[in-house]
């Protein structure tokens, strides 16, 4: 049941109208940050409107924040943004659909694994895994074999694992030899998620080796951050 609309909600609505009339994108983004912390029906309605804003950065933020809400209207709004002219907006829409487990979007997302933009193909395969619709496992396997981009193949592998495919940590390690540092960065983040149980020490040893040979500052920084996070998780248990 939706809670009673408060004075705070009314103020947010009025502020939203003002920012639209003035056309100031920065004010809209600041308003959206407030909306993201205000879990009300009104806030969801406003975010759904902002999904259609003329400013791509407003749509970008809205596609992210609206993922904290549920409902068929949210799914419809996010699916519309899968056709957005800006690929970053499309990525946020994909990730939000995965976060809310919008299985109704699975067929549409599966088609995006053949998108002309490699980054869209990769996120589509990974998010399809999050939706946990196992009938798409075979399709991701096929796309994995056909795909020529290493980063996309790594994302497809993540999707397969999320769907329950028996993916070994060693299946990931081979991506370490990629000459593309973006692939290695994604690999590090992926392996950090796998650093549990018997895999934990394997991952930490691999990271230490990586620090000794890695030349990219971005990858080295990602490794250090992941090592800290793994140790923090262990201390919290």
Chain segment 113-128, per-residue pLDDT in tens: 999 999 999 999 999 9
**Degrees, nearest 5: CA angle 203-209-215:** 120
Average pLDDT of every residue of the chain: 84
Select the CATH number that applies to the domain covering 8-100 from these four: 3.40.50.1820, 1.25.10.10, 2.130.10.10, 1.10.8.60.
Answer: 1.25.10.10
Dihedral of alpha carbons 151, 153, 157, 163, sign: positive
Conformation bin of residue 188: beta by default, left when phi > 0, alpha when psi is -120 to 50: alpha
If pLDDT is split at 50, 70 and 90, which confidence band does 1 have? very low
Reading the block at residue 232, the tokens are 């923090």
Q: What dihedral angle (degrees, nearest 10) is formed by the CA atoms of 138, 142, 147, 151?
A: 20
d(CA 177, CA 201): 21
pTM: 0.79
User: Among 55-59, 201-205, 208-212, whose mean pLDDT is lowest?
Assistant: 55-59
If pLDDT is split at 50, 70 and 90, which confidence band does 199 have? confident
Please state, in angstroms and as integers, the Cα–Cα distance from residue 183 to each residue in 138, 148, 149, 155, 187, following that order: 24, 13, 10, 9, 6
Number of H helices, E strands in the chain: 14, 0
If pLDDT is split at 50, 70 and 90, which confidence band does 137 have? very high
Flag whether pLDDT at 16 surpasses 80: no
């Amino acid at each position: 049941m939706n809670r009673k609309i408060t004075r705070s909600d009314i103020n947010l609505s009025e502020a939203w109208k003002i920012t639209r009339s003035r056309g100031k994108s920065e004010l809209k983004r600041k308003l959206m940050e407030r909306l993201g912390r205000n879990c009300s029906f009104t806030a969801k309605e406003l975010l759904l409107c902002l999904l259609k804003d003329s400013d791509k950065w407003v749509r970008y933020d809205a596609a992210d924040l609206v993922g904290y809400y549920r409902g068929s209207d949210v799914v419809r709004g996010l699916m519309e943004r899968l056709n957005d002219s800006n690929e970053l907006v499309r990525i946020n829409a994909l990730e939000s659909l995965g976060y809310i487990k919008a299985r109704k979007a699975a067929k549409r997302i599966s088609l995006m694994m053949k998108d002309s933009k490699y980054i869209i193909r990769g996120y589509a395969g990974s998010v399809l895994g999050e939706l946990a619709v196992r009938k798409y496992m075979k399709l991701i396997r096929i796309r994995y074999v056909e795909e020529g981009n290493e980063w996309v193949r790594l994302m497809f592998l993540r999707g397969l694992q999320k769907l329950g495919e028996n993916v070994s940590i060693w299946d990931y390690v081979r991506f370490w030899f990629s000459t593309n540092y973006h692939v290695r960065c994604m690999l590090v983040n992926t392996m950090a998620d796998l650093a549990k149980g018997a895999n934990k020490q394997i991952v930490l040893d691999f990271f230490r080796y990586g620090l000794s040979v890695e030349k990219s500052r971005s990858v080295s920084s990602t490794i250090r951050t992941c090592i800290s996070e793994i140790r923090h998780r262990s201390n919290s248990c």
